[in-house]
Structure 1
C-alpha cells in the first residue's frame, strides 16, 4: 500500500510498515520536512497515498475524495502507544478498503467514516 507518514508518527512505525511491504513516504530528514497541511493533502492525493498522522485537522477532509486518512488521537501519547494504534488500524482494514475511509484511533474507542462517492 502507498502510505504517507507524517512527521509525528514514530520511526519504529515506519520501519514496521516497510517491513510489511508498504511503500512509505516519510518526510523526516528530507527536503519536504515541515510541509504545511495543504501540501501534504495535495501530495497524498496526487500520489494516491493513505495519510497517517496525529494531526486532528485532517479529519475535516473526511468528506472529500481521498485514499485514506488514519489519525491517532491519544490523551497521553507516546511513541509506543501511537505505534500500536497505527498497527492496529493497518491490520484491521485491507488496502482496497482505505479509499475514502477516515479512521480516528483514540484511547478507548475509534471513529470510522466513509466519504460519499
Structure 2
C-alpha cells in the first residue's frame, strides 16, 4: 500500500511502514511546503496513496468528499511519535489495508471513527 505523509506527520513513522512493505511518500520531500490541503489530496490521488496526517480538519472536510484514495487522521491528546505509530499499526492490523482505501478514518486515544462507516457485522 502507498502512504503519503502530510507535513505534520512524524517522519519516524516512515521506516516502520517501509519495513512492513509499504511505499511511503513524504510531502515534505516532493511537495511545496505550506501547500493547501487540496495540493496534498491531488498528490495522494496521483500516487494512489492514503494520506496520513494529524490535521483534524481533514477528516471533517476533505474526508467527506468522495473520490479520495484514503485518509487517516491521528488526533491524540498528547501525541508522540511512538503513540502515533502504535495507533496507526493498530488500525492497519485491526481494519486491514483494503478498508483504508477511499475511506476517512480518525484515530483518537481510545476511539476511532470511519467515513463511510465500516460494516462491523
Normalising by structure 1, report the TM-score. Answer: 0.85
Which residue of 97, 100, 108 corresponds with 1:98? 100
Structure 2 residue aligned with 1:71: 73
Q: Within 1, Cα distance between the matches of 2:20 and 2:114? A: 23
CA contact under 8 A between 2:51 and 2:72: conserved in structure 1? yes
Instruction: State the 1:17 CA deviation.
Output: 0.2
Distance 2:9 2:84 in 1: 7
Corresponding residue of 1:61: 62
CA RMSD of aligned residues (A): 1.7
**Aligned pair count?**
114
User: Structure 1 runs of 4+ off > 6 angstroms?
Assistant: none
Q: What is the match of residue 50 of structure 2? A: 50
Unaligned segments of structure 2, at least 5 residues:
none
Aligned to 1:114: 116
Quick check: 2:50–2:71 contact (8 Å CA) kept in 1? yes
Secondary structure of 2:73's aligned partner = strand
Deviations 1:20-63 (A, max 9, x none): 110110133x2525233110011111221101100112111223
